[in-house]
């Protein structure tokens, strides 16, 4: 069975919406995802706001109630019938997120065994055939085939096969011969 590793933030967990909401509320701004095409929030924030922006991730509460990306639960459950599915999050950047991320996964993806969860830093350590991730930094390190999950920041990236949403992940991995090495039960 081929193995698919799947990132968390911006792929199954909508951390960007939470970040925008906190930033807009704190600084009385009205930034939207549209404003972030090709950019990070920090690119649109005055220098004096940036320490506060960074501090949002030091609050473990940030990770507790993130919205689930639409369609991710149904598609992942269906993928598990044909692929070995792991969730791989670069949680080492934010040690306070370990517990909340684990609980979030147990709550929203109860069908995924805890043994199939990985908290790492550099995703070159992930042994899988595919990695679905919004981070070009991580896809460059990964040793299998990288699939770029669209997020406003990465829209100009052209190096990787791209999926815009979970129906497109379903189409790529479950509808036919979309992937270069289609998963088949051995």
Residues noted as catalytic: 7, 9
In contact, 89 and 112? CB cutoff 8 Å: no
Distance CA 138, CA 5 (A): 12
Dihedral class, residue 26 (left if φ above 0, else alpha if ψ from -120 to 50, else beta): alpha
In contact, 24 and 35? CB cutoff 8 Å: no
In contact, 42 and 20? CB cutoff 8 Å: no
Q: Of 10-18, 26-34, 116-124, 175-183, which segment contacts a second copy by CB under 8 A?
A: 116-124
Can residue 181 be called a binding residue for a second copy (CB under 8 A)? no
Interface residue with a second copy among 120, 136, 155, 174 (CB under 8 A) is 120
Site string for a second copy, 67-96 (x = CB under 8 A): -------------------x-x--xxx-xx
Residues that bind a second copy (CB under 8 A): 5, 86, 88, 91-93, 95-96, 98-99, 102-103, 113-122, 124-128, 143
């Amino acid at each position: 069975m081929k193995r698919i590793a799947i990132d968390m933030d911006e792929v199954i967990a909508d951390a960007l919406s939470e970040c925008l909401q906190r930033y807009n509320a704190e600084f009385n701004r009205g930034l939207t995802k549209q404003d972030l095409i090709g950019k990070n929030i920090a690119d649109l924030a005055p220098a004096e706001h940036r320490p506060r922006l960074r501090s949002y991730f030091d609050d473990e509460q940030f990770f507790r109630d993130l919205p689930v990306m639409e369609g991710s639960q149904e598609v992942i459950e269906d993928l598990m019938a044909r692929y070995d599915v792991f969730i791989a999050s670069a949680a080492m950047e934010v040690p306070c997120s370990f517990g909340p991320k684990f609980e979030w996964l147990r709550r929203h993806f109860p069908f995924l065994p805890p043994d199939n969860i990985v908290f790492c830093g550099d995703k070159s350590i992930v042994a899988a055939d595919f990695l679905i991730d919004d981070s070009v930094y991580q896809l460059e390190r990964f040793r299998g085939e990288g699939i770029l999950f669209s997020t406003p920041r990465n829209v100009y990236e052209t190096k990787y096969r791209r999926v815009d949403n979970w129906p497109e992940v379903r189409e790529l991995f479950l509808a036919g011969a979309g992937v270069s090495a289609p998963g088949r039960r051995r």
